[in-house]
Amino acid sequence: MRTLIPKLTKLIERLAAKNLFLYRLISLYYSNVVKNEVALAKIKATDRVLCIGGGHCPISGILLHEYTGAPVTIIDNDAFCVRVAKELIKNLGYTDAIKVVHGDGKAISPTDYNVIHVAMQVSPLEQVFCHLRQGCRLGAKILVRLPKRALAKFYSSSDCTVFCHCNGKVLHSRRNIESTALFIKSGAEYGI
């Protein structure tokens, strides 16, 4: 039950990665979500963006690049998803601006990035977030998508208290996404 929505999302994105019409249709669903996230984190072309959990069709990473001009690196822990996503990026003509890499959010070094975007389907969400927050540089911004409370049981997140003390938040209406929380790493966490 816990992985029902992520599995359904994966299927839809796999189809969209192979069909540009379906891709464009699905990207409309994410368009305002990503625009609101860009505004929340004040992402600009000079930022270096890391997206954790791109899937077959990394729409959020693509839109982050399209809306800001920032270079984006997308990682996913499913090698097949990475191959499909690379082909989509190539077909869209973004190979110079968007990189797709096979990797694990719990193991990647986030030090080269000043904006990190974490998908709601990432599992285990809390562990990945804590790893990224601990390893990122001072001033780095981490955006974490959180599910609506009624749908939380369909995702891996079990301890949302980790996400209570954020620096900002944007709410998303009429979607399975409740909000995107913004965390900015400051020296206060380390007594600086």
Residue 48: give its domain's CATH number.
Answer: 3.40.50.150
Give the mean pLDDT of 37-52: 99
- In tens, the pLDDT along 126-177 reads 899 999 999 999 999 999 998 766 555 555 555 566 677 889 999 998 678 8
Q: Identify the pLDDT of residue 191.
A: 46
Does 4 or 54 have the greater pLDDT score? 54
Half-sphere exposure of 105 (CA within 13 A, CB side): 29
Is residue 116 scored above 60 in pLDDT?
yes
Which pTM value belongs to this model? 0.88
**What is the total count of domains within the chain?**
1
Give the mean pLDDT of 30-55: 97
The secondary structure of the chain in percent helix, strand, coil, rounded to multiples of 5, reads 45, 20, 35
Fill in the DSSP letter of residue 110: -
Token match 């077959």: residue? 56
- In tens, the pLDDT along 46-94 reads 999 999 999 989 999 999 999 999 999 999 999 999 999 999 999 999 9
How far apart CA 2 and CA 69 sit, in angstroms, is 35
Token match 């190979």: residue? 95
Domain with 65 in it: 4-190
